[in-house]
Amino acid sequence: MDFQKKKAYRIWNMKRCAGYLIDIVVWVLGKGIYVIFYLLGWSFIYRVGKITGYVIYFLSSKQRKTTKQEIALLFENRLSREKINEIAKRSFENYYKRQIETILFGHLKKGHLEKMIDAEGLENIDNALSKGKGIIMLLSHFGSFLLPLPFLGYRGYRVHQITGKQNHTSLISERIWQWRSREAAKLPVSFKQVDSFLRPIYQALKNNEIVAVAFDGRDSTQWIAVEFFGRKAWFSTGPFELARRTGAAVIPTFVIRKKDDTHRIIFESEFNLSEDNNMDIMLERDTKKFADIFARYITEYPCHFGMVLYKLKMAAEAKTGKPLWVVGN
């Protein structure tokens, strides 16, 4: 018994020491990025992100191979090897540029956002809010998908983001997430975890505010499989159920990274919910309709989604997230 206690204590102590070491490394790297940002600006930061993605693409054979496989499957093996390689490489670059943006989230001020973002469809936000029922801003893990939150927040809109339960597979991923959370807390945005009491979400919509939800998020209790790129994929019906219960407008929102690393945010026209006497049929139609919109953007900008396919596959294999694809499909 004493031996087991000593062994358990040694393991606990090793984990604690590892945690301290990771905290120091993350702090040093984070502060280093801040210094580079202040001295050299966003353009250099994006070059760092691009180089990071480039290096990981060539060094991590598993990530590279799996990402290419997922891209090939997504497009039903219709793309050439050269095209798949191009999409995969750019996916790595875009993903790590986004990660650095997130690390610096707390330092994104209104002036920075105005310079780095072109917004289309802000009138759709205002028109929806004029109805007094709030907005469900339907995002997806596509491009720098979190940028609409501070962009609207600094313009005076009340914005809330629904976040999923965090399942960390390593200490370093947990520490990085904690760092990003501290940065996000500095923004004019409220973050609400999905497994907490949902009354604040209903209250926000009742107050005619904006609630952001990820269409392809993996945290839900109600799923439906719809056709997506020729296969069946799981998506949550939650946003459409919430819209029906509250009368809130649904605004599809996408973020496109341009060649100069500025961004184009597209607030689409209000999403028209389907009508039928059967709720299940309505939810299936709504989900399929939005999946088609999502697929259109992915088809046009596949490098904005390539690494997400890899992350979804890894989470499904680790059983830390709902699989995107229906098994055996």
In contact, 304 and 292? CB cutoff 8 Å: no
| Token reading at 122 | 């802000």
Number of residues in the chain: 329
How far apart (Å, rounded) are the C-alpha atoms in residues 192 and 212? 10
- pLDDT at position 225 over 70: yes
Residue 17's pLDDT band (cuts 50, 70, 90): low
- pLDDT at position 16 over 60: no
Share of the chain above pLDDT 70, in %: 80
pLDDT for the residue numbered 1: 47
Query: pLDDT digits over 90-149, tens only?
Result: 999 999 899 888 877 777 788 888 889 999 999 999 999 999 999 999 999 999 999 999
- pLDDT at position 231 over 60: yes
Query: pLDDT digits over 236-252, tens only?
Result: 999 999 999 999 999 99
The mean pLDDT of the chain is: 86
Higher pLDDT among residues 2 and 71, named by residue = 71
Q: In the chain, what are the helix, strand and coil shares in percent, each to the nearest 5? A: 55, 15, 30
79-93, 160-174, 288-302: segment of lowest average pLDDT: 160-174
pTM for the full predicted model: 0.86
β-bridge partners, 325: 233
- Mean predicted confidence (pLDDT) in 52-56: 89
Reduced to 3 states, what is the DSSP secondary structure of residue 58? helix
* Cβ within 8 Å of residue 316, ≥6 positions away: 322, 323, 324
pLDDT for the residue numbered 72: 97
How far apart (Å, rounded) are the C-alpha atoms in residues 67 and 311? 9
